[in-house]
């Protein structure tokens, strides 16, 4: 079931439509995200392909995928939780409408210690032959939308509309509805919240009784409308397995509740550093395991450049009661912030968990066999405890967390005004004033120039910026006592004098040669263009694989493609027409021979019905 040697999940493959269907709309939630990861995801949605291959940089394939998805994807994330990219990409401007930042708030004012933490995708697909026929996919994960290499878990459920309301889908519908105030302009969200109430979901093989468990509600303004715990264990359980990278390091602990209601064995799988911070005495009632160091530091052992640790990030709780086994998997760690006190209070965080019910065949003993081997050769090994962190480390970490929350909760407003030589003057206003703890500093930059940061102030300015180098994403650097360093990115409110025409400007700069323009047109006309062909759109036509579609030298067959589109798929002509109009408004040179040919076909262009 979760054997790392055979049960591996391809993220991009899970987003691909079922056979005979095409992508329609999607909603995703995540605690953190990587801008380059978000750039790659549309390739899977639009071109029905995996995320393999070189998708870095400013590729026309990414531009086209983002253009196709405009108004059809919304990703909710915790404000600030974007790592600073190594390099600026002009396509980041196209991502801004896709992202909805959320500043979490706690009931009682302890906002710095609450998180918007759910991780899921809900996708709707339409049948190619009849778009009124729909299918749905829900992916519940422990992984954020990043290129992180940690060990994670995910469950993918496919569903189809039913005639009657499915009561078990009601919690999912309520969770979607709770997101609407954070993206009022994204109308498909309300549609999805209504539609999922009638969706019947197929449980993964070996399971039954799918139950959706949203938890907490750090994103919900009214505390009375928040959810309870995303955990439903029952009163007494015979055996429990907890897989959680992070745990309460002081009482009250969620693990204490598990101890009190579990009659038999208790297995705990976590990170070595997390277990050390709690100590062997507090965990003496548990059999503790940590990820094998040879797995965590595998890239170091292989001497790979820019190695990253492969530590545990999966969240899973398996409980056995009689012949019944429950699997809870999703975003929640085994902490009071994520689960609440289970029998008393709701959690501070927003979480989303999936409960799957099975029989004894999928009890903890199955995973013990797959994960733990004699002689220390397994994925996990029995943990040997070491000394944890000091009080001074903890105090600095608390100060850093409070400062980080003050930064993401502030109002960040960018205003771009036209300066000299058609370039722009950019001004950033931050309110209210942010007070820094003793020994801490914050510096502010812009995505397009990460070599020059300025100290945080209520107003900061940059001059002489090209339109395509303006971004609503503002990188911040935090430094503090000792070796404390942290970077984060906040999404600011951006206003541009004369209107936001960055998308058109980016398209003009990327399609900067007649060859690239013709490649783009050919691929727009070809109904089944593949990912590899779109990636090749930045190349010379003879080296991009396009000759297979349009003749040996990639110049033949264009007239035939226009004829076919005019008779069968006029919406493809409409997309070509939109591209031409946009480039002409920006006074971009378009090959005259093509414009002459286009005059005969432009009357047949029609928007999709």
Flag whether pLDDT at 530 surpasses 80: no
pLDDT, tens digit (0-9, with 9 covering 90-100), for 510-520: 888 888 888 78
Q: Between 558-568 and 514-525, two packed helices, what is the crossing angle to 10 degrees? A: 40
Flag whether pLDDT at 563 surpasses 90: no
CA distance 10 to 330: 17
Flag whether pLDDT at 385 surpasses 80: yes
pLDDT, tens digit (0-9, with 9 covering 90-100), for 356-371: 999 878 889 888 988 9
Long-range contacts of 592-595 (CB under 8 A, 24+ apart): 594/517, 594/518, 594/521, 594/558
Average of per-residue pLDDT across 234-257: 90
The residues, any chain, with a CB within 8 Å of residue 581's CB and separated by 6 or more, are: none
CA distance 141 to 121: 8
At residue 340, the 3 state secondary structure works out as coil
Percent of the chain scored above 90 by pLDDT? 55
Tell me the sheet residues that pair with 317.
242, 328
Contact 339, 252 (CB under 8 A): no
* pLDDT at residue 544 in the model: 43
**Among 318, 391, 381, which Cα is nearest to 355's?**
318
The residues, any chain, with a CB within 8 Å of residue 110's CB and separated by 6 or more, are: 348
Contact 213, 354 (CB under 8 A): yes
* pLDDT at residue 236 in the model: 83
Residue 148 confidence class, pLDDT cut points 50, 70, 90: confident
CA distance 41 to 55: 10
The mean-pLDDT minimum among 390-399, 442-451, 521-530 falls in: 521-530
Flag whether pLDDT at 252 surpasses 60: yes
At residue 510, the 3 state secondary structure works out as helix
Nearest 5°: phi and psi at 552?
-60, -40
- The angle formed by the CA atoms of residues 479, 480 and 486, to the nearest 5 degrees, is 40
* pLDDT at residue 46 in the model: 75
Protein fold of 392-503: Immunoglobulin-like (2.60.40)
CA distance 380 to 312: 10
Give the residue with greater pLDDT, 113 vs 588: 113
At residue 144, the 3 state secondary structure works out as coil
CA distance 46 to 61: 10
Average of per-residue pLDDT across 490-514: 91
Residue 392 confidence class, pLDDT cut points 50, 70, 90: low
CA distance 196 to 547: 44
* pLDDT at residue 302 in the model: 45
Give the residue with greater pLDDT, 202 vs 580: 202
CA distance 520 to 586: 17
* pLDDT at residue 77 in the model: 98
pLDDT, tens digit (0-9, with 9 covering 90-100), for 6-18: 555 667 778 888 9
The answer to whether 239-389 and 392-503 have equal CATH topology is: no
**Among 277, 485, 486, 279, which Cα is nearest to 390's?**
277
* pLDDT at residue 308 in the model: 66
* pLDDT at residue 552 in the model: 31
Flag whether pLDDT at 4 surpasses 70: no
Flag whether pLDDT at 555 surpasses 60: no
Contact 421, 454 (CB under 8 A): no
Contact 34, 65 (CB under 8 A): no
Residue 479 confidence class, pLDDT cut points 50, 70, 90: very high
Tell me the sheet residues that pair with 287.
267
Q: Taking the domains of the chain in order of start, what are their residue ranges?
A: 11-225, 239-389, 392-503, 511-604
Instruction: Give DSSP secondary structure letters for 492-504.
Output: -EEEETT---HHH
CA distance 523 to 528: 9
* pLDDT at residue 456 in the model: 96
Contact 136, 193 (CB under 8 A): no
pLDDT, tens digit (0-9, with 9 covering 90-100), for 408-441: 999 999 999 998 777 999 999 999 999 999 999 9
Contact 320, 239 (CB under 8 A): yes
Average of per-residue pLDDT across 562-568: 86
Give the residue with greater pLDDT, 26 vs 40: 26
* pLDDT at residue 545 in the model: 43
pLDDT, tens digit (0-9, with 9 covering 90-100), for 32-86: 999 988 888 887 787 665 445 555 566 777 887 888 889 999 999 999 999 999 8
* pLDDT at residue 529 in the model: 57
Residue 564 confidence class, pLDDT cut points 50, 70, 90: confident
Instruction: Give DSSP secondary structure letters for 78-143.
Output: ETB--PPPSS--TTHHHHGGGEEEE----TTS-GGG--B---EEEEEEEESS-TT-EEEEEEEES-
* pLDDT at residue 548 in the model: 39
Q: Percentages helix, strand, coil for the chain, rounded to the nearest 5?
A: 35, 25, 40
Give the residue with greater pLDDT, 474 vs 55: 474
Contact 479, 441 (CB under 8 A): yes
* pLDDT at residue 5 in the model: 60
* pLDDT at residue 61 in the model: 73
Nearest 5°: phi and psi at 99?
-110, 135
Pick the CATH number of 11-225 from 1.20.81, 1.10.760, 3.30.310, 3.30.870: 3.30.870
* pLDDT at residue 604 in the model: 86
The residues, any chain, with a CB within 8 Å of residue 11's CB and separated by 6 or more, are: 51, 143
Average of per-residue pLDDT across 319-343: 91
The residues, any chain, with a CB within 8 Å of residue 515's CB and separated by 6 or more, are: 540, 541
Flag whether pLDDT at 180 surpasses 90: yes
Give the residue with greater pLDDT, 201 vs 596: 201
Residue 547 confidence class, pLDDT cut points 50, 70, 90: very low
Q: Any idea what DSSP says for residue 202?
A: P
Contact 122, 169 (CB under 8 A): no
CA distance 390 to 398: 13
Contact 158, 135 (CB under 8 A): yes
Percent of the chain scored above 70 by pLDDT? 87
Flag whether pLDDT at 525 surpasses 90: no
Question: Which helix H or strand E contains 579, and what residues bound it?
Answer: helix 570-585
Flag whether pLDDT at 586 surpasses 50: yes
Torsion angle, alpha carbons of 391, 397, 402, 406, to 10: 160
Residue 542 confidence class, pLDDT cut points 50, 70, 90: very low
Average of per-residue pLDDT across 485-492: 96
Residue 425: HSE in the Cβ half-sphere, 13 Å Cα cutoff = 6
At residue 250, the 3 state secondary structure works out as coil
Contact 67, 510 (CB under 8 A): no
pLDDT, tens digit (0-9, with 9 covering 90-100), for 255-297: 999 999 999 999 999 999 999 999 999 999 999 999 998 887 7
* pLDDT at residue 528 in the model: 60
* CA atoms 526, 529, 534, 537: torsion sign: negative
Does domain 239-389 bear CATH number 3.30.870.10? yes
* pLDDT at residue 42 in the model: 80
Residue 609 confidence class, pLDDT cut points 50, 70, 90: low
* pLDDT at residue 51 in the model: 46
pLDDT, tens digit (0-9, with 9 covering 90-100), for 109-132: 789 999 999 999 999 999 988 999
């Amino acid at each position: 079931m979760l054997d790392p040697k055979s049960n591996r999940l391809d993220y991009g493959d899970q987003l691909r439509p079922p056979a005979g269907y095409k992508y329609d709309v999607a909603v995703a939630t995540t605690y953190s995200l990587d801008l380059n990861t978000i750039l790659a995801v549309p390739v899977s949605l639009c071109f029905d392909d995996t995320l393999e291959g070189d998708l870095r940089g400013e590729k026309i394939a990414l531009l086209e995928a983002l253009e196709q998805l405009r108004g059809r994807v919304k990703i909710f994330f915790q404000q600030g939780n974007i790592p600073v990219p190594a390099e600026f990409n002009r396509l980041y401007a196209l991502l801004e409408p896709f992202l909805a930042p959320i500043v979490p708030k706690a009931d009682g004012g302890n906002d710095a210690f609450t998180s918007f933490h759910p991780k899921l995708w809900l996708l709707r697909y339409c049948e190619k032959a009849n778009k009124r026929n729909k299918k749905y996919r829900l992916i519940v994960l422990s992984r954020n939308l990043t290129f992180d290499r940690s060990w994670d878990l995910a469950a993918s459920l496919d569903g189809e509309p039913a005639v009657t309301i499915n009561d078990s889908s009601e919690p999912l519908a309520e969770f979607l509805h709770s997101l609407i105030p954070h993206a009022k302009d994204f109308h498909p969200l309300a549609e999805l919240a209504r539609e999922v109430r009638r969706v019947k979901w197929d449980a993964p093989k070996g399971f039954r009784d799918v139950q959706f468990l949203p938890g907490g509600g750090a994103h919900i303004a009214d505390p009375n409308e928040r959810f309870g715990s995303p955990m439903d264990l029952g009163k007494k359980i015979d055996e429990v397995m907890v897989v959680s990278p992070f745990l309460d390091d002081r009482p009250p602990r969620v693990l204490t509740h598990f101890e009190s209601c579990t009659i038999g064995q208790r297995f705990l799988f976590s990170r070595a550093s997390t277990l050390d911070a709690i100590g062997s005495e507090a965990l003496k009632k548990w059999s503790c395991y940590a990820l094998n160091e040879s797995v965590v530091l595998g890239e170091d052992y292989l001497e790979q450049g820019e190695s990253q640790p492969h530590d545990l990030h999966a969240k899973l709780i398996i409980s056995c009661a009689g012949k019944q086994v429950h699997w809870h998997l999703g975003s929640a760690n085994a902490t009071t912030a994520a689960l609440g006190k289970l029998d008393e209070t709701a959690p501070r965080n927003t979480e989303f968990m999936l409960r799957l019910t099975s029989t004894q065949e999928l009890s903890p003993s199955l995973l013990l066999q797959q994960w733990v081997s004699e002689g220390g050769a397994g994925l996990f090994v029995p943990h040997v405890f070491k000394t944890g962190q000091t009080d001074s480390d903890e105090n600095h970490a608390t100060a850093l967390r409070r400062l980080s929350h003050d930064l993401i909760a502030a109002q960040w407003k960018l205003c771009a005004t036209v300066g000299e030589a058609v370039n722009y003057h950019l001004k950033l206003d931050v309110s209210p004033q942010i007070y820094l703890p003793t020994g801490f500093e914050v510096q502010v930059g812009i995505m397009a120039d990460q070599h020059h940061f300025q100290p945080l102030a209520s107003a900061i300015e940059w001059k002489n910026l090209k339109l395509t180098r303006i971004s609503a994403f503002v990188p911040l650097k935090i430094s503090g006592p000792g070796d404390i360093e942290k970077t984060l990115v906040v999404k600011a409110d951006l206003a541009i004098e004369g209107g936001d025409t960055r998308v058109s400007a980016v398209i003009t700069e990327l399609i900067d040669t007649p060859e690239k323009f013709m490649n783009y047109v050919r691929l727009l006309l070809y109904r089944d263009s593949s990912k590899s062909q779109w990636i090749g759109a930045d190349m010379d036509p003879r080296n991009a694989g396009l000759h297979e579609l349009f003749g040996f030298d990639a110049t033949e067959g264009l007239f035939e493609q226009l004829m076919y589109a005019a008779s069968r798929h006029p919406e493809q002509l409409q997309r070509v027409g939109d591209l031409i109009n946009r480039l002409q408004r920006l006074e971009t040179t378009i090959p005259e021979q093509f414009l002459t040919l286009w005059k005969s076909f432009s009357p047949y262009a029609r928007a999709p019905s």
